[in-house]
Amino acid sequence: MKRRRSVARAAKTKPGKNAAPPKCAPKLALGQLDRHLGYFLRRLQIWVFQDFIETLRSMKVRPAQYSVLLLIEANPGRSQAVIGQTLGIERARLARLLHEMERRKWVARRASGSDARSHSLHLTADGEKELAKIKSLAERHEARLADHVGPKRHRQLMDLLRDFG
């Protein structure tokens, strides 16, 4: 019971250092929603994404962009199709994300040597430099999340969620 309240409280709390519940928000009964894992996962996702976006506002990076950058860093030269499949990002949306990152000179798309229809992805020198700053901010975000739920429960939650990842 205590764990459920904590997740629900986290989902209802505005992200950031001075997190506070919304003002004048009426407390409604959740009915059957109180038994739906998907509802609480979505509420938690919203809370986590809001904190991430606020923490990385200065870099103008969204969660999907960050994920793409990390995968390219960990897998240089892989195709954009494989990156998109791994992250579950549809082709058109990934193409728009990559176009924006190319415009910012963070990512280079190169024709694949094995398939002329495919592009391999690489971080540029600027991309590597900016990603280091982004990762530093993202670490602050992750530390805040771990602090909010407690180290032990954070590890447990990560272990549970990795089973689905």
Q: CA 131 to CA 120: how far, in whole Å? A: 19
140-162 tens-digit pLDDT: 999 999 999 999 999 999 999 99
Cα–Cα distance list, 25 to 35, 40, 74, 112, 145 (Å): 22, 18, 43, 53, 23
Global pTM?
Answer: 0.80
95-120 tens-digit pLDDT: 999 999 999 999 999 987 777 778 89
Q: CA 116 to CA 72: how far, in whole Å? A: 19
Query: What burial class does residue 152 get, using C-beta atoms within 10 Å of its C-beta: 0-12 exposed, 13-18 middle, 19+ buried?
Result: exposed
Q: Which CATH class is domain 63-124?
A: mainly alpha
Token pair recorded at residue 39: 């509802």
Q: Which residue ranges make up each domain of the chain?
A: 63-124
